[in-house]
Structure 1
Amino acid sequence: MVRTILFRLHWALGLTAGLVLVVLGVTGALMSYEEAIGEWADRDRASMPVQDAVRLGPEAMVARLQAQRPGARVSTLTLSGDPERTPRARFSTDAKTGARPPSAYLDPYDGRDLGPPRLESAFATIRDLHRWLLVPGDGKGWGRSVTGASTIALLVFLATGLYLRWPQIHSWRVWLRPRLARPGRARWWSLHTIAGTWLLPAYALIALSGLWWSYDGYRTVATWALTGEAPRTRPSRMPGRSGPAEPLALDRTWAAFQAGEGAGATLAIVTLPAADATAIRIRYLTRDAPDSRARNDITFDAATGAQASVSRDADKPLGQRMADNMLEVHRGRFFGGIVAFVFFAASLLMPVLAVSGLVLYALRRRSARRRATSASPGLETARPLKV
């Protein structure tokens, strides 16, 4: 009875949540290498030869770019330690339209706008499709609820699938070796179950980390499990101030950063204070960083350029690092390039599992109809009654 219930639950979820999971898998695979794809598409804008001229400071870059984009306000400025890499700026969301203007690459010598990233809009659409299926309302609409419920369904898939295929003979050949030479339904069953077994750890971690953005209560519990404390919000205000300083001490901040913690940094993302904040935040990578997610975090007073706080990735325990880099955990990059590729392949193979499951369901239904037809009694020929 238990096996029958779990089997029906498995295929019922496949017929409902399966399509959503296919969409999440394909879009997630595309976003796994968003940066690499974008770098290739923007290779003529993302870099330029080094010139025998003085590079502009951050204040001049921001001022000249905002002059070319009337009404736009720079929110972040990404600077590289490689002199051939061009800076990239992002803008704040427009208060009237609720839309964010396209980002811009800029010439570091004269501040000229080199144009937006070519695939930024496309990946923004893919990201919205992945998060809430392009349903109106964005994160506050019912699309987020559907993707969250489908992610839970993926965990149920894994648990019920593991139970249903638990073999009586425990051998690695039974568990991990596909038998695609077998005809008919046996071939599809082997493809579906063996692929699911191989990819089960990746799917489990993808689902558990994906729920981080679906449910606030789950994020609170997961944060406590990883760090032993409730989620922390970054302080945006500094004591004694009511708003951002004008003008910002951006050049002084940058000079203090380069002379101190940021000496030799390979990447720096400078976040300018919003209307309700007075600190300039810089997330940066050092040359000895083990990978791209080991970012340090430092803040400066926006009026004076004095250092306010610093948080180094190497000083954090593993749980805190995972909580601070949950997106990289979700994409597998937190565990290294090999795991990231496994996550990419697992996401891309989601349609294979869905199609093989549907084929198995259709073949099983057809077989059941044949058995029902052969088992039904035929009409007997009427015989004359004897008088």
Structure 2
Amino acid sequence: MRYLRAVLFQLHWLLGLGAGLVLAVAGVTGALLSYEDAIGEAFDADLIRVASHSEDRLAPDALLARFLAQRPDTVASLTIAAEPGTAAMVRLGRDSATGQRPPSLYLDPHDGTVRGAARTEEVFATIRRLHRWLLLPGDGKGWGRTLTGASLVALLVLLCTGLYLRWPKVMSLRIWLKPHLRQWGRPTYWSLHSVAGTWVLPVYIVIALSGLWWSYDGYREAVTAFLTGGETITRMADGKPPAGQEIKPPARKAMPEADRGTRPAGRKEEGLGSSGAPSLDTAWAAFRAADAGRFTRATLLLPAGFGGPVRIRSENRNGWRDDTRIEAATGRILVREVGGERPLGVRIAGNMLDVHSGRIFGVLGPPIFLVAALLMPLFLITGLLLYIGRRAAKARRRADSIMPAGPATPALGRRA
């Protein structure tokens, strides 16, 4: 037992020193990303709030036509808010030369006037690349993804070994949960390291297991199959799978909605409102009738090849996301997924970003996950201090063991 404890102790500090910096960076950047929308809304408040108009808000087709008359850009998506006095937003396609996406633009929903560009998108795009790929070359196909994935595996091992190493002989909530900060030094560092680790352990387990979703394709496929029980996530409006569709776990090779990275240059995108694009007004009217005023904002996405249905992703007042696919010409609803009505496993698989950030756990989830993420550097700092203190103590013991003993000190005393 003592040998096992010694091995786990060595493994714990080796992994902590090796992966600690990556985890600390991921924790701080993840905390910022979890409040990206709130931070963006605070910086762009003057662009988002629109003065009251006497005229009604424009329908999607008219809004896009007004925008394209001002700027002939490629529009990848159009976001419309339910609250009056709130600007619409167009997300632009990527530049064909660089593969980069310009910042999104706010539009006056009454006349389509461009109010300005989102001020924080480029900053958060960099933070996201740092969080997921450490800003290393290759992005999702480079060493950055490998390092962050390995660090998440290391985090799980650190949690398990740390729990074993601090398991007390006497069970007490005071021992488990109360830090002892009276004597500054190694005892305090150890108390902060172990007690804070116990408090955030469940959160870190969720963060690690959900973070691996973007690190390893095989892991994502296995977890999807486990959570959904082999069912497809997409269902028809009546709850049945589309005719002729095979019931199997959905292929999710591409990154989910959180993926806002770069795309190879040279690929030209066709946009909403462009020549040949389907009309959105009929689909929008059908969505409004089916939604019955539950959405807070809805995003209309480009149909695949202009021949597929219009896809509308909406956020509900209850915090869930809905997904609706509507035939553009007729307004017939082909797929209507209401987030809160799906099985729990399907909801988790379809909203892994919300699991990773804590939003899926309700109002208290995001702030709890925020605090836990910001504590990541604490474990790196206290772990380093404990390591340095332990090495210094060993050096002192080694020096004491080789110090010569004899009558030298008494002799000096007699001469004095």
Change (3 A) 1:371 1:215: same
Partner residue in 1 for 2:398: 372
Rounded to whole Å, the distance in 2 between the matches of 1:305 and 1:233 is 27
- Residue 271 (1) aligns with residue 333 (2): no
Deviation of 1:10 (Å): 0.9
Shift of the 185–18 alpha-carbon distance from structure 1 to 2, 3 Å rule, reads same
Within 5 Å, give how 1:115-194 maps onto structure 2.
115-194=116-195
Q: Match of 2:45, SS?
A: coil
Match of 1:232 among 250, 266, 274: 250
Q: Write out the 4+ residue segments of structure 1 that deviate beyond 6 Å after TM superposition.
A: none
Does structure 1 residue 329 correspond to structure 2 residue 355?
yes
In the other structure, the counterpart of 1:261 is: 291
1:284 aligned onto 2:285 = no
1:92 CA drift (Å): 2.0
Q: Deviations over 1:261-290 (max 9, x none)?
A: 35453321111224476221011244xx42
Aligned residues of 1:179 and 1:187 also touching (Cα < 8 A): yes
Separation of aligned partners in 2, 1:256 and 1:92? 26
**Structure 2: distance between partners of 1:139 and 1:36:** 26
CA–CA separation in structure 1 for the residues paired with 2:96 and 2:125: 19
- Alpha-carbon distance change, 265 to 166 in structure 1, aligned in 2, over 3 angstroms: closer
Could you say what secondary structure the match of 2:364 adopts? helix
TM-score by length of 1: 0.90
Contact map agreement 1:273 1:280 (CA 8 A) in 2: yes
One-letter identity of the residue aligned with 2:95: D
Distance (Å, rounded) in 1 between the aligned partners of 2:306 and 2:65: 21
Q: 1:306 to 1:233 in 2, by over 3 A?
A: farther
Question: Matched residues in 2 for 1:183 and 1:345: separation?
Answer: 24
Residue 351 of structure 1 corresponds to which residue in structure 2? 377
Instruction: Give the CA deviation at 1:259.
Output: 2.8
Question: Of 57, 60, 65, which residue of structure 1 is paired with 2:59?
Answer: 57
CA deviations 1:103-144 (Å, max 9, x no partner) are 000011221111111111111110110010111111111100
Secondary structure of the residue that 1:337 maps to in structure 2? coil
How far apart in 2 are the matches of 1:247 and 1:228? 37
Q: Which amino acid aligns with 2:347?
A: R
Q: Is the CA contact (8 Å cut-off) linking 1:75 and 1:273 kept in structure 2?
A: no
- Match status 1:37 vs 2:39: yes
Distance in 2 (alpha carbons) for counterparts of 1:12 and 1:221: 29
Quote the offset at 1:380 in angstroms: 8.1
In structure 2, do the counterparts of structure 1 residues 250 and 162 end up closer, same or farther at CA, with 3 Å as the change threshold? same
- TM-score, L = length of structure 2: 0.84
Partner of 2:334: 308
The Cα shift of 1:379 comes to: 8.5
Mapped contact 1:154–1:207 kept (Cα < 8 A): yes
Matched residue pairs, number? Answer: 368
How far has the Cα of 1:66 moved from its partner? 2.9
| Equivalence map 1:45-124=2 (5 Å) | 45-70=47-72, 72-124=73-125
Provide closer, same or farther for how the CA distance between residues 138 and 275 of structure 1 changes in structure 2, counting only shifts above 3 A: farther
Q: Find 2:365's aligned residue among 339, 342, 361.
A: 339
- Asked if 1:298 is matched to 2:300, the reply is no
RMSD, aligned α-carbons: 2.1
Indicate conservation of the 8 Å contact 1:246/1:303, yes or no.
Answer: no
Following the alignment from structure 2 to structure 1, what is the Cα–Cα distance between the partners of residues 295 and 396?
Answer: 69
Mapping 1:19-38, distance limit 5 Å:
19-38=21-40
Structure with larger RCO (C-alpha < 8 A, sep 6+): 2
* Structure-2 separation of matches of 1:50 and 1:153: 53
Instruction: Provide the rounded CA distance (Å) in 2 between the counterparts of 1:200 and 1:154.
Output: 10
Identity, % of aligned pairs? 51
CA distance, structure 1, for counterparts of residue 185 and residue 109 of structure 2 = 63
Q: Structure 1 residues 179-188 or 339-348, which shifts more?
A: 179-188
SS at match of 1:100: coil
What is the letter of the counterpart of residue 40 of structure 1?
A: A
CA drift of 1:74 comes to: 0.9
**Structure 1 125/277 Cα, relative in aligned 2: closer, same or farther at 3 Å?**
farther
Structure 1 residues 227, 48: CA separation in 2 closer, same or farther (over 3 Å shift)? same
What is the DSSP-based 3-state SS (H/G/I as helix, E as strand, rest coil) of the residue aligned with 1:266?
strand
Where do 5+ consecutive residues of structure 1 fail to align? 235-243, 382-387
In the TM superposition, residue 68 of structure 1 has moved relative to its aligned partner by 2.9
Q: CA deviation at 1:308?
A: 1.9
2:282–2:329 CA contact under 8 A, matched in 1: no
Confirm whether residue 212 of structure 1 aligns to residue 230 of structure 2: no
Deviations 1:157-202 (A, max 9, x none): 1011111111111111111111110242111111111111111111
Name the stretch that deviates more: 215-224 or 255-264.
Answer: 255-264
